[in-house]
Amino acid sequence: MNPVFTALRRALPLACALVLLLATAGEAARTARSKNAMAATAHPDASKAAAEVMREGGNAADAFVAAALVLGVIEPYSAGLGGGGFALYRDTAGKVHAYDFRERAPGKARRDMYQKDGKVDSMLSKFGPMAVGVPGQPAGLEMIHARHGKLPRARLTKEAHAFAAEGFAVFPYLQEKIKSTASLLRQFDATREVWLPGDKIPEVGAKIRQPGLAKAIEAFAAEGAAPFYKGAIARDMAAEVSRLGGILSERDLATYQAYPVTPVRGTFRDWEIYSFPGPSSGGIVLIEMLNMLEAALPEQPQVESALKVEAGLQKLAPLAPLLGASALAQGESAAFPGIPAMQSMLVAGHSHLIAEVMRRAYADRAEYLGDPRFADVPTKRLIAKDYARERLKDLDLEKAHDVSAGSVEIAPAEGEHTTHISIVGPEGDAVSATLTINLSFGSGITVPKWGIILNNEMDDFAAAPGVPNAFGLIQGERNSIAPGKTPLSSMTPTMAFRGGRLRYVLGSPGGSRIISTVLQLFLHVAAFGLTPEQAMDAPRIHHQWRPDTLYAEDAFFAPEGLTPLRGALEKMGHHIKTAPHWCNAQAVWVEDDGTLLGLSDERVEGAPAGF
C-alpha cells in the first residue's frame, strides 16, 4: 500500500477529532433529554405536538402524523399536504419498514414537456402549474397511521388544526422565506391572500390564519386521504391546476398510491444501518460511502480528548514532506494557536479522503440510480463491500483527481426547503421521515378553499440530458420524465443500530447535501468517538462530483487559519467554495442507559421535545 495512504489511515481519526474539537460551527445544537419519548423536528411547535401525542398514549407513528401536519401549517415553504416524502418506521418487534409517498409525474407528462424549439424553458418546471407533481403526503400519512398508529386521526390533527384555524405568529425564518419568494407568491391570488396580506411582507409576530387549510385538515381527520384523491379536494386541486394551464388531472389523483418498499441495509464495523432505497439515492450512496471509508480507515481506539489528539499527532511529523507541508510546519498554525501547523495538514488529509469518497459515490449516483420501477438499479452491487474496495483503487491521497462512472450526468435533488422528523416513541418504536414540496413554497399555487400549497417536484426530473435543474445539477437519462414516474431524490431518512439496539435516528433537508450531511453525522460518532452534540455542531463539507468543487461551511476554516488549511486542500487540487451553513438536521440518540437525546440543528429553527 502507498506509504502516504498507510500513514494517513493511522492519522485520519486524530485529524478528524482535531477539526471537530477546535473548529465547531458556532453555537451548540439545541438538545433535550427524556427517559420516555423524544421528537426532533424543524420547528419547536411540531416537536411539542409530537411529544404531547405520545404523552397521551400515542406511539412514534402517531407522533409523526401530528408533527408532519403541524409543519405543513407553520412551515409551508418546506412541506405539506401538497407535497410528499419518504419514511422509515421501526416497530416494537424491531422490524424496519419503509414507505414511499413521493410525488409522481402526471399521466400527461412527457419527456420533452419543458422544451421549446429544442431549448429548455426552466421556469416551467420550477414554478406554476406545469411544475406540479401528484401529491403523496396525505396517502403516506394515512398508510403509516393505518398500519402502525394507535390514536384516532381526530386527535392527531388537533394541534395542526388549531394553528391553521386560530393562527400562529410569524417567526423570523418564515418572514425571510416570504421575502425571498414574494414575487412568486404574488402571482397566485389564494397564495397572496394568506402569505402577503395587504400585499405586504408580514411583520415578525403578526398572526397568520389559514381557514381553508383548517378545512382540509378537518377532512383528513374525518375521512383520511380519500378527499384528497377522489373527493372534493381532489376535484378542486385538479381544476385549479388545469385552469392555470397545468396537466394534473382527477385521474392522476384517483390512481395515486403510497406503497411500502424494502429499506436498504448496510454495515459499518459493528453498526447496522437502515436507510431509504430507490427512488431515493440517499440510502444507497450513504452505504457506498461508508463502505469505502470502512476500507480506508483503520479500526483503532477512538479519540476522546484534545490531549490525545495532540499526543498522537506529534508522532506523525514525518508525513509533512509527503503532504507538501514542510513550509507550513516551520511554525505554529494560525488556525489553531499553540498547535503545530502540521495538524492543519492532517485535517486537510482527512477532508481530502472524505471528499474523494463523496466524489466517487456521487459519480455512481449519476450513472446508475433512478426510479427502480422504470430503470434497472444495481443496488446490491453498489452497496457491496468488494465494490467499495474496487472504487478506492485509483484513490490518490496526495492529489484530487476527477473520476468517472460512465457518461457525464447527475441526478437532481430537493432544495433546502425540505424538512426532517426524527422520533423515538415510548414503546421503543421509531420514525425517520423526510418530507418536501421541493423549492420554497413549491409551485407557488394554493388550492382555493383548501389552503394547500402544491409542490414543484417536476423540476427534480431531467428536463433534458445535460441541462442543469434549479440547483445547478446536470441531469441524466435515467431520470427523464415519464408518466407515473417518481423523480430521483436525495432524501436520506436513516436509522442506525449497534448490538441489536436502536442507537441513532437521523436525517436532514438540504438537497444533494442531505447525503453528505447524514454521512458526517454518523461517521463522526461511529468512527471517531465524538458525542452526538459534537457531530451535529461540527462544520460540514460536501463534494457531489459535478461541479468539481469542494464545498465547506465557513466555520470549517477558523478565521485566523484560513490560509494553512485551505491552502493545503487547494494544493491537493481542490476547488473550494464556502457558505455560512447548510442543512437542518434532526436526530434522536439513544444513550447506553436508554435515555433519549433529541438534537436539532442550531443552523436554523428546530428544537426537540420529549416527556
pLDDT tens-digit series, residues 171-219: 999 999 999 999 999 999 999 999 999 999 999 999 999 999 999 999 9
Which of 420-434, 444-458, 462-476 bottoms out in mean pLDDT, i.e. has the lowest? 462-476
- What pLDDT is stored for residue 73 in this prediction? 99
- What pLDDT is stored for residue 68 in this prediction? 99
pLDDT tens-digit map of 528-565:
888 999 999 988 999 999 888 999 998 887 645 445 78
**What's the pTM value of the predicted model, to 2 decimals?**
0.89
Structure confidence at residue 118 as a pLDDT band (50, 70, 90): confident
- What pLDDT is stored for residue 88 in this prediction? 99
pLDDT at 18 over 60: no
Instruction: Give the residue from 187, 128, 151, 198 showing the smallest Cα distance to 50.
Output: 151
pLDDT tens-digit map of 40-53:
999 999 999 999 99
- What pLDDT is stored for residue 555 in this prediction? 84
Q: What is the mean pLDDT of the chain?
A: 86
Instruction: Note whether 59 and 426 are within 8 A (CB).
Output: yes
Sequence spans of domains, the chain: 1-167+209-299+342-611
For the question of residue 418 being annotated catalytic, the response is yes
- What pLDDT is stored for residue 332 in this prediction? 39
Residue 575 dihedral angles phi and psi, to the nearest 5°:
-95, 115
Q: Which residues contact 206 (CB under 8 A, 6 or more apart)?
A: 169, 170, 197
Q: Which of 31, 41, 181, 418 is catalytic?
A: 418
- What pLDDT is stored for residue 78 in this prediction? 96
Q: Determine how many CB atoms are found less than 10 A away from the CB of residue 199.
A: 10
| Mean pLDDT of the region 386-399 | 90
Percent of the chain with pLDDT over 70: 82
- What pLDDT is stored for residue 345 in this prediction? 55
Cα gap 434→494, rounded to integer Å? 10
- What pLDDT is stored for residue 144 in this prediction? 99
- What pLDDT is stored for residue 405 in this prediction? 55
pLDDT, greater one: 479 or 454: 454
Radius of gyration of the chain from Cα atoms?
Answer: 24
pLDDT, greater one: 539 or 273: 273
Residue 481 dihedral angles phi and psi, to the nearest 5°:
-75, 140
- What pLDDT is stored for residue 310 in this prediction? 43
Quote the longest CA-to-CA distance of the chain. Answer: 74
pLDDT at 474 over 60: no
Instruction: Give the residue from 392, 345, 337 showing the smallest Cα distance to 7.
Output: 345
